[in-house]
């Protein structure tokens, strides 16, 4: 089975930019360069430049305001669930900053392109769920995020309850959707501690492809980074985000993952100084580059997604 090409947005990062693995020190890394980030609680920062508003496609505005993807917003409009100034919205309709928009009867505040979306990196600890609605009322990641008005944080993918590490959030549902889209082939790197022995045969199976219940899964890279006994660590990468994929792959070759940490998602690297449960905000310049890489300035509906440009 051929391995997928490595997706990239930034240039190569030096090894020291990657967080050392727990209990075992720093490891060699092939990670990409991490965007610059600004520390601290960003909830009261009015740092985004606002330019005069202009009409924009309604489905795009709803998506970049964090309500959902563009396709989901088009479906809402087609179903008659979006209202503009007291009238039912039509597919392809535009809106301006002065319009009153309601979705399912609730007034929403649109985020126009003249205001940059916000992107933050959260160091998720174990024991938090990536959901606002949990019947078991477990702690969730959203309670640790900066408070914002007129928008909501959208998670870029998920990490399961017992997995820690890098988790991205943005105020743009459209950007979140593109960061998760399989067409962009963004790499995910994980630090993995396992119970059991990984033989050379098992390692090759993980690189060639493992058959899971929901299809074939494979690691793009597999690196032994050291440790003894029950404290042996590996560094793996893959290009998908299936539920519990890394854990299930190791279980398929007879070992159990005792600790799992995501250290990279696409161009973003978990900063080594970011403590668990803390947030860093991506700098404005890097957000602008990210939008350019993903053609986020194009309002045309239905335009095919394009792989990010190499830098």
Catalytic residue list:
160
- 255, 232 Cβ separation under 8 angstroms: no
Our measurement of the distance from residue 75's CA atom to the centroid of its chain's CA atoms, rounded to an integer in Å, reads 23
Please name the residue ranges forming H helices in 151-275. 173-180, 200-208, 245-252
Which three-class secondary structure state does DSSP give residue 123? Answer: strand
Q: Whole-angstrom distance between the N-terminal and C-terminal Cα of the chain? A: 28
> What tokens appear for 156 in the block?
């870029």
* CB atoms inside a 10 Å sphere around CB 5: 11
Exposure letters 229-239 (e unless 16+ CB within 10 A, then b): eeebbbbbbbb
Kind of pairing between the strands at 232-238 and 221-226: antiparallel
Q: Could you tell me which of 214, 215, 207 has the C-alpha nearest to residue 250?
A: 207
Beta strands 82-84 and 87-88 are antiparallel
Query: CA–CA separation, 247 vs 5, rounded Å?
Result: 23
| Distance from the Cα of residue 277 to its chain's centroid | 17
Q: Are 193 and 257 in contact (CB under 8 A)?
A: yes
Largest CA distance in the chain: 67
Report the 3 state secondary structure along 238-301. ECCCCCCHHHHHHHHCCCEEEEEEEEEECCEECCCCCCCCCEEEECHHHHHHHHHHCCCCCCCC
């Amino acid at each position: 089975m051929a391995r997928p090409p490595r997706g990239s947005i930034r240039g190569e990062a030096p090894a020291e930019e990657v967080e050392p693995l727990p209990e075992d020190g720093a490891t060699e890394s092939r990670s990409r360069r991490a965007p610059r980030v600004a520390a601290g609680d960003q909830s009261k920062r009015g740092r985004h430049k606002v330019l005069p508003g202009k009409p924009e496609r309604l489905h795009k505005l709803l998506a970049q305001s964090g309500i959902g993807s563009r396709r989901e917003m088009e479906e809402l409009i087609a179903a008659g669930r979006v209202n503009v100034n007291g009238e039912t919205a039509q597919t392809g309709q535009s809106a301006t900053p002065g319009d009153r928009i309601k979705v399912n009867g609730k007034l929403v505040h649109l985020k126009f392109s003249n205001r940059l979306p916000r992107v933050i990196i959260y160091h998720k600890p174990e024991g938090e769920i990536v959901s606002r609605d949990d019947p078991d009322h477990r702690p969730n990641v959203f309670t640790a995020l900066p408070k914002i008005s007129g928008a909501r944080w959208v998670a870029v993918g998920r990490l399961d309850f017992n997995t820690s590490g890098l988790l991205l959030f943005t105020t743009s549902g459209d950007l979140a959707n593109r960061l998760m889209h399989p067409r962009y082939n963004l790499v995910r790197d994980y630090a993995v501690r396992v119970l059991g022995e990984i033989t050379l045969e098992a390692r090759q199976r993980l690189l060639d492809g493992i058959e899971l219940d929901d299809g074939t899964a494979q690691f793009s890279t597999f690196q032994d980074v050291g440790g003894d006994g029950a404290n042996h660590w590996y560094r793996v990468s893959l290009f998908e985000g299936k539920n519990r994929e890394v854990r299930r792959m190791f279980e398929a070759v007879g070992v159990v993952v005792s600790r799992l940490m995501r250290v990279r998602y696409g161009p973003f690297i978990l900063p080594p100084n970011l403590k668990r449960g803390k947030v860093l905000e991506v700098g404005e310049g890097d957000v602008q580059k990210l939008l350019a890489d993903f053609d986020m300035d194009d309002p045309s509906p239905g335009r095919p997604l394009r792989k990010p440009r190499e830098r």
